[in-house]
Amino acid sequence: MSTDLQTRQQHPAVVFRRRIESVAASQLAEAAETPEGRRLLAAFGSAFASAARQARDPSAFYNADPASVAAAAAMSLQTGLKPGGAMPEVWLIPRGREIQWSISHRGLMRLARQAGWAVRAVVVHIQDIENVEIVDGNVTIGGQDPTLYVERLDDIGGVAVFATGPDGATVSTWTPAGKLRKVAKMGGPSWKSWPAEMAAKSAIKDAFSRGYIPVESEEIGAALSADVASSAPQQTRADVLDIPGLEPEPAQIEQQTPEQPDGGEWSE
């Protein structure tokens, strides 16, 4: 084996990816030897490696406690959700020597979709709040100015969540800005970095917990349980990943009315 090849194989990024693939292989057992299993191993290894490369400090991943890395990998395998990329389904958050697994609003919506529910969240700018109506428990949004940009939590007037169940029945909920601020105060610095995404995630979780969207899914239950620890307030801003594309852009804030629910995207 050449010296260059040995050096590449010992690089922390390569070792980290092999660790993820090893955990995945042990979880998949015999299925890991099938063509589909090998594709799955490669996909998860690539996703975790991508998340590490995009982090502010990749060494936080490479030097993390192997047990916490294994736990994060196992949770992704259990739920089918992967980190990394511009629109991750989960975030990996370094805290000390641990890697914590935290589901994003996209992950919540994907798991809900697998359970038969099309769920989306509409983040409403404070200047559009007059266009929101709640009549007989149904939320409607008359319109939104697409030029308004959510840069801070104070820019958010509230979040509407729209869902369509397996039987075609529709549900809508409203999470006001006051409740979001309370959740943000108890949460981590992710709220400062990605206020729109965190608000949407919080609103969807709220709709689940209050029973408005009665999703029955073991994967969602496991994901929300894992998410509790990573939402604790001891995080510092430097601990959170800087993943390109996570900051909400105007075009990503839903503008549709509740009469047109799609499988869309994502409450805490």
Helices (H), 115-194: 177-186, 190-193
- What is the pLDDT, as a whole number, of residue 263? 32
- How far apart are alpha carbons 212 and 172 in whole angstroms? 8
Tens digit of pLDDT at every position of the chain (268 positions): 455 544 455 677 787 777 777 777 776 666 666 776 677 777 777 888 888 888 888 888 888 888 888 888 888 888 888 887 778 898 888 888 888 888 999 999 999 999 999 999 999 999 999 999 999 989 999 989 999 999 999 999 999 999 999 999 999 999 999 999 999 988 777 788 889 999 999 999 999 989 999 988 888 988 888 876 555 444 333 333 333 333 333 323 343 333 333 333 333 3
- What is the pLDDT, as a whole number, of residue 250? 31
- How far apart are alpha carbons 53 and 37 in whole angstroms? 24
Strands 156-164 and 118-125: antiparallel
152: nearest Cα among 233, 251, 247: 247
> What angle (nearest 5°) sits at the alpha carbon of residue 60, between those of residues 56 and 61?
100
- How far apart are alpha carbons 138 and 136 in whole angstroms? 6
- Decide if 146 contacts 177 (C-beta within 8 A): no
Measure Cα distances from 36 to 16, 30, 44, 82, 249 in Å.
22, 11, 12, 16, 35
* Residues contacting residue 195 through CB under 8 Å, at least 6 positions apart: 150, 151, 152, 153, 155, 156, 184, 248
- How far apart are alpha carbons 111 and 201 in whole angstroms? 13
23: nearest Cα among 77, 59, 80: 77
Size of the chain in residues: 268
121: nearest Cα among 169, 174, 160, 172: 160
- What is the pLDDT, as a whole number, of residue 247? 32
Helices (H), 29-144: 35-54, 59-62, 66-79, 105-114
